[in-house]
Amino acid sequence: MLFVMGAIFIIDSATGYEIAVSVFYAGVILTAAPILSRNALMVLSGTCTAVTLLSFAITAQGDYRAGLVNMTISIVSILMTAHLVLKMAAARAAARDAQARLLRIARVRSLEGLTTSIAHEINQPLAAVVTSGNACQRWLGQDPPNVDKARQGLQRILDDATRAGDIIARVRSLTKGEPPRRLAFDFNEAIREVVDLSRTEMARAAIVLEVDLNPGLPLALADRLQVQQVAGNLLLNAIDATALVPPGRRTIRLISARDEDMIVFSVRDSGTGLAEGVRDRLFEAFWTTKAHGLGVGLSLSRTIVEANGGHISAKSNKEGGALFWFSVPFQDKEPACQS
């Protein structure tokens, strides 16, 4: 860099005023910018300005007025180049700081997303634990106590607590990008287990449930617990929507069927339906139409279904309400083990 500056100085001093060689000092500043600190760059620009003035002072030939103009242009170029380089360095530093802040925010949002997802998904088994616990208290409070019923209730509590732990493990594995545990299982049986957990809620809301599960389905090939999470979420959403219409119109219909190489499960309700333009945003994270919703249920459901090789979608019913459905692959051959 010093060699280049020396060459520019010699040529500028040896040529006439009309030749503005000193303008090339701007190139020296640009070349040195990536390796010099802010203070060093300011010193370099000051040095370039000083040697430009010195070169003008010792030049002895040419049009003096033209030389004065060229010297002014060169000094302005040097100072403007230094100013722009410093501005660019400051902008890059600000961009790096902003990127660091965005990374911190992304980590926090990821933690929030994991927390809300887990909270949303374990709500159902925890509610079932509370229901079974209250039932146990009633059976033990009878005279004489109904020990058999209480024992059954305690077993359900243990099962639901285990399911809540499994859900936490599955949600964590999704956030880590781990593949689901895809094993063959009886799809209809898994759906019946989900329905049994929601019967009390539907009875409380006076909802008529219609279940049409195709008995000839092959074994599904997916993560059973994750499929139950999705089915349970769709059923709970249908219950919430259906509870908002007059009692005589509250119906939910569950259908399982085979469509080519997939098992399709649909939830059709007679609730409030989907407003215009809502469908395109239904599966976005943290977006919800519920006043107190988290906006993670359908987003997580889509992640689960797609991770298991299926597809999820929704549309409005012509007669009112909404229709949600998802698909999962099935196993053609009889598996060695089932879950």
At 111 the pLDDT is 47
Same domain for 153 and 189? no
Q: Among the listed ranges 69-73, 146-150, 271-275, 308-312, which one has the minimum average pLDDT value?
A: 271-275
Q: Among the listed ranges 10-19, 136-145, 151-160, which one has the minimum average pLDDT value?
A: 10-19
At 215 the pLDDT is 92
264 compared with 167, residue with greater pLDDT: 264
Same domain for 155 and 247? no
Query: What are the residues facing 181 on neighbouring strands?
Result: none
182 φ, ψ (degrees, to nearest 5): -90, 105
217 compared with 103, residue with greater pLDDT: 217
Look up tokens 């943290």; give the residue. Answer: 286
Dihedral in degrees, nearest 10, Cα atoms 11, 14, 19, 21: 20
At 170 the pLDDT is 60
Q: What is the mean pLDDT of the chain?
A: 78
Residue 61 resides in a domain: yes
At 106 the pLDDT is 47
Same domain for 139 and 198? no
pLDDT of 318 higher than 50: yes
Mean pLDDT, to the nearest integer, of 53-78? Answer: 82
Look up tokens 């196993």; give the residue. Answer: 331
Please check whether residue 12 is in contact with residue 22, taking contact to mean a CB–CB distance below 8 angstroms.
Answer: yes
Same domain for 38 and 149? no
Query: What are the residues facing 209 on neighbouring strands?
Result: 252
Same domain for 229 and 325? yes
Same domain for 254 and 300? yes
ω into residue 144 within 30 of 0, thus cis? yes
Could you give the CA distance from residue 256 to residue 263 in angstroms, rounded to a whole number?
Answer: 7
Its pTM stands at 0.50
Rg of the chain in Å (alpha carbons): 36
Residue 246 resides in a domain: yes
Mean pLDDT, to the nearest integer, of 22-36? Answer: 80
Q: What is the CATH number of the domain that holds 293?
A: 3.30.565.10
pLDDT of 287 higher than 50: no
At 154 the pLDDT is 83
Mean pLDDT, to the nearest integer, of 272-299? Answer: 58
Same domain for 213 and 314? yes
Work out the pLDDT band at 184, boundaries 50, 70, 90.
Answer: very high
Same domain for 199 and 321? yes
> Which of 78, 100, 122 is the last residue in one of the domains?
100
Give the up-direction half-sphere exposure of residue 325: CA atoms within 13 A in the CB hemisphere: 18
Work out the pLDDT band at 280, boundaries 50, 70, 90.
Answer: low
pLDDT of 307 higher than 50: yes
Same domain for 24 and 139? no
At 336 the pLDDT is 42
Residue 32 resides in a domain: yes
At 189 the pLDDT is 94
Same domain for 168 and 187? no
201 compared with 265, residue with greater pLDDT: 265
Q: Among the listed ranges 34-43, 129-138, 187-196, 281-290, which one has the minimum average pLDDT value?
A: 281-290
- For residue 140 the two structure tokens come to 């033990």
Same domain for 245 and 305? yes
Residue 39 resides in a domain: yes
> Which of 64, 80, 100 is the last residue in one of the domains?
100
pLDDT of 110 higher than 50: no
Q: What is the CATH number of the domain that holds 164?
A: 1.10.287
Could you give the CA distance from residue 338 to residue 302 in angstroms, rounded to a whole number?
Answer: 25
* Domain, as residue range, for 125: 109-175
Residue 207 resides in a domain: yes
> Which of 100, 119, 154 is the last residue in one of the domains?
100
At 333 the pLDDT is 53
Residue 135 resides in a domain: yes
Tens digits of per-residue pLDDT, 7-18? 877 877 777 777
Residue 336 resides in a domain: no
Work out the pLDDT band at 136, boundaries 50, 70, 90.
Answer: confident
Tens digits of per-residue pLDDT, 74-109? 888 888 888 888 888 888 777 777 666 655 554 444
Grouping H, G, I as helix, E, B as strand and the rest as coil, residue 312 is strand
311 φ, ψ (degrees, to nearest 5): -145, 145
Sequence-separated (6 or more) residues with CB below 8 Å from residue 216: 258
Please check whether residue 9 is in contact with residue 59, taking contact to mean a CB–CB distance below 8 angstroms.
Answer: no
At 72 the pLDDT is 87
Same domain for 236 and 284? yes
Sequence-separated (6 or more) residues with CB below 8 Å from residue 194: 228, 231, 232, 235
Of the chain, the end-to-end C-alpha distance in Å amounts to: 72
Q: Among the listed ranges 1-10, 147-156, 189-198, 217-226, which one has the minimum average pLDDT value?
A: 1-10
Provide the number of structural domains found in the chain. 3
Residue 337 resides in a domain: no
